[in-house]
Amino acid sequence: MGIKSTYNIDRQTAIAVIVSKINNCTNEQLANILEEFDESYFRNYIVYDKLQEEADEYRTISNFSEF
């Protein structure tokens, strides 16, 4: 038996909670969230405060449409 308790939450409240917390996430937390999306099946992410200039352009996502 684990130490966590399970809570029920409706979709709209869950989205509101996530949106309210997202700006305070660390870069590692943001990378972990991105990995949960279907598009990320074969992807890992490193989130930077600012993209490195020497980054491999093929594996760089700099806008929403590239995701």
pTM of the model: 0.79
Cα–Cα distance measured from residue 48 to residue 28, given in angstroms and rounded to the nearest whole number: 9
Q: Is the dihedral of CA 54, 43, 30, 20 positive or negative?
A: positive
List, for residues 45-55, the tens digit of each pLDDT value. 999 998 877 76
Q: Distance between CA atoms of 8 and 47, rounded to whole angstroms?
A: 31
pLDDT value at residue 28: 98
Is the pLDDT at 8 greater than 80, yes or no? Answer: yes
Instruction: Please give the Cα distance from 55 to 59 (Å, whole number).
Output: 8
